[in-house]
Structure 1
Amino acid sequence: MEGWNRTTEFILMGITNIVWLQKFLFILTLFFFLLDIFGNILIISMVIRDLTLQSPMYFLLANLSFLDILFSTVTVPKMMSGFLMENLISKNGCIAQMYFFHFLGCAEGVLLAAMGYDRYVAICHPLHYKAIMQKATCIQLVFTAWVTGLTTSLVHAVMTSQLPFCNNKNIKHFFCDVKPVIKLACKDIHVNELTLAIVSGFLSTSTFLLTLLSYIYILAHLLQIRSSKGRSKIFSTCSSHLSIVILFYGTAMCTYIGPASENSIEKDRVAAILFTVITPTLNPLIYTLRNKEVRKSLEKNLKRSSILRLPIVK
């Protein structure tokens, strides 16, 4: 009991202690982080500037890109500093990082479900698309995503902040996630683990099932179309979003469903690299490479910028 609540800061242990590997991972992570920021800002700017991308689908995509920028910023810079020096974080800073990480992650899950619904309406009810997916509806969907994230993440942050911590302050992770932090508490954490599994597990599973339901209806509609051209068009419309959904939910469900054992924390650390570094970087690349309208907008912007750079001949 004597050591309880004496911990005012933690040490993030990071990924590895091998010096040369730390330096290599720093350069690699910096590359992905810059690519993530640049790619998502490019998507946002294209949606704002290009009139051909002024639709509900791209409005939701721009919001996804904005969430991806914030999501990576919460964890990646702190992870990179850990490659170069001892990575200390205060208890309040740790709780804040945990809160914003879960807030943005939950918001992104809800937003992906909203994007799935948008694709369902566009494909299965094309004549009513404009009437259903009005600007006010899109704003409400984005607002719901943000509010859901704000409220659910508050549960984890408050419960973790109330735990008494011993003198052990080594967090076996590269950021403050719930499982490795509560593992250090000098108290039974079964209630915290159960709450994590229920809240995060329920939210990720329910939003995934809603997204899956949208695609079941889309698949049923697809089977009714006889023309291969029509099927190809629908597949190209949905493939980008579906790829992101698989990346996001696959890692999230593996991470937050189950107890905080030593093996699970090691597995979670690997999964966390995927959804904090790799996935936010791949999202704009997937949409740019697999979406014809985004590709055309990008080509048009590149041509416009190259024309502006041409010297004026007098």
Structure 2
Amino acid sequence: MAAKGNGTTSAHFVLLGFSEQGRVQVVLFVVFLVICVITLLGNVALLVLIRPVAQLHTPMYFFLSSLSFLDLCCSSCITPRLLQDLLDEDKPCEAACLTQFYFYVAFATTECCLLAAMAYDRSVAVCRPLLYSLSVSRGICALLMAGSCLAGVTNAALHTGLALRLSFCGPKVIGHFYCEGPPLIALSCTDPALSELGMFITAGFSLAATVLAILLSYTFILAAVGKRKAFSASVSQLAAVALFYGSLVSVYAQSSSRSSPEQDKVASVFYTMVMTMLNPFICSLRNQEVKAGLWRLMGRKHSAEK
């Protein structure tokens, strides 16, 4: 929907990133580069480990490997461009802003649904172990993964469609390090109420549905195996989920007029980069089966070298 006058819906924007930080950019570049390298190594290592180890060919590790792949996709949407912008004094015009917006929303929504599917998998394994092979069969896993991808694509299409309804009259400078919904809405020269409400509803529904599924699954686990045992086994996963969802909600739960750009940047760093780095360590590399599979794989390679 074009605005009157000089309004435009062009996707060309300038991303300021962390340019206002001045000399701190070098430190930020090093920090984000380290995060990027750890994210790449941790998630690729998990993918490489699971494939050749037959003992890890279970639904749980199918979901974990899918999570690692999504984390790589999410990181590739954000971090390379951010690192480039930190090195460039003159911020280039970003022609693919809405493309980045679409793909990140798609990957992030798919990951939210996948986290819910992983919680369901664990609840069935603990609460109904005798029916586990039927309740979480290969077909069910494929359907859950396909449903997660469909939800991601649909949610991203809705968000991008709502963003395309906005019109921009003045300088299209986004005070953020990637193309995100609230900063886009804040730049609109027309009434963004409809787009803002639509984004709030679609994002809120996705978050609420997946959070409810995760909470119900872990409630069943707590009731089935006892509070202490379940808590000690699941506290790291729950902490990761709480940090991921908490940072997302802090950005999308408030209107663009009341949001703080600096606080939004910090929250966005958590759910776009920090969580993609921590997930392989929190959800899998601390797992005893993964460690055993790693030693098995290393032993097999050692024997082959002899």
Which residue is equivalent to 1:228? none
Does residue 1:135 correspond to 2:138, yes or no?
yes
How far apart, CA to CA, are the structure 1 residues paired with 2:59 and 2:239?
19
> For residues 112-154 of structure 1, what are the alpha-carbon distances to aligned partners after superposition, in whole Å with 9 as ceiling and x for unaligned?
0000000000000011111111000001000000000000111
2:126 to 123, 128, 147: 123
Does residue 1:287 correspond to 2:264, yes or no?
no
TM-score by length of 1: 0.90
Moved more, 197-206 or 158-167: 158-167
Partner SS, residue 156 of structure 1: helix
How far apart, CA to CA, are the structure 2 residues paired with 1:257 and 1:33?
28
Moved more, 250-259 or 115-124: 250-259
Does residue 1:200 correspond to 2:203, yes or no?
yes
**1:224-263 maps to which residues of 2 (within 5 A)?**
232=229, 234-235=230-231, 237-261=233-257, 263=259
**Number of residue pairs the alignment of both structures matches:** 302
What 5-or-longer segments of structure 2 have no aligned partner?
Answer: none
Which residue is equivalent to 1:267? 263
What 5-or-longer segments of structure 1 have no aligned partner?
Answer: 226-230
1:214 to 214, 217, 224: 217
Partner SS, residue 259 of structure 1: coil
Q: Is the 8 A contact 1:60 1:115 kept in 2?
A: yes
1:158 to 149, 158, 161: 161
How far apart, CA to CA, are the structure 2 residues paired with 1:259 and 1:289?
38
Does residue 1:44 correspond to 2:47, yes or no?
yes
How far apart, CA to CA, are the structure 1 residues paired with 2:11 and 2:44?
37
Letter of the 1:125 partner, please give it: R
Percent of aligned pairs with the same amino acid? 34
Q: Is the 8 A contact 2:165 2:195 kept in 1?
A: no
**1:72-151 maps to which residues of 2 (within 5 A)?**
72-85=75-88, 86-91=90-95, 93-151=96-154
Letter of the 1:148 partner, please give it: A
Does residue 1:27 correspond to 2:10, yes or no?
no
How far apart, CA to CA, are the structure 2 residues paired with 1:159 and 1:3?
20
Letter of the 1:139 partner, please give it: A
Which residue is equivalent to 2:183? 180
Following superposition, the deviation at residue 46 of structure 1 comes to: 1.4
Partner SS, residue 20 of structure 2: coil
Partner SS, residue 62 of structure 1: helix
Following superposition, the deviation at residue 262 of structure 1 comes to: 5.5
TM-score by length of 2: 0.92
Partner SS, residue 261 of structure 1: coil
How far apart, CA to CA, are the structure 2 residues paired with 1:63 and 1:263?
33
Q: Is the 8 A contact 2:11 2:97 kept in 1?
A: no
How far apart, CA to CA, are the structure 2 residues paired with 1:146 and 1:7?
28
Letter of the 1:140 partner, please give it: L
> 1:8/1:178 Cα in 2 relative to 1: closer, same or farther (>3 Å)?
closer
Following superposition, the deviation at residue 271 of structure 1 comes to: 0.6
Letter of the 2:294 partner, please give it: L
> 1:97/1:32 Cα in 2 relative to 1: closer, same or farther (>3 Å)?
same
Q: Is the 8 A contact 2:182 2:251 kept in 1?
A: no
2:61 to 58, 73, 78: 58
Letter of the 2:65 partner, please give it: A
Following superposition, the deviation at residue 307 of structure 1 comes to: 5.6
Partner SS, residue 173 of structure 1: coil
Q: Is the 8 A contact 2:170 2:189 kept in 1?
A: no
Partner SS, residue 170 of structure 2: coil
How far apart, CA to CA, are the structure 1 residues paired with 2:172 and 2:304?
55
> 1:6/1:198 Cα in 2 relative to 1: closer, same or farther (>3 Å)?
closer
Partner SS, residue 11 of structure 1: strand
Partner SS, residue 246 of structure 1: helix
Following superposition, the deviation at residue 37 of structure 1 comes to: 1.2
RMSD over aligned Cα atoms: 2.0
Letter of the 2:92 partner, please give it: L
Partner SS, residue 183 of structure 1: helix
> 1:113/1:28 Cα in 2 relative to 1: closer, same or farther (>3 Å)?
same
> 1:67/1:167 Cα in 2 relative to 1: closer, same or farther (>3 Å)?
same
> 1:170/1:285 Cα in 2 relative to 1: closer, same or farther (>3 Å)?
same
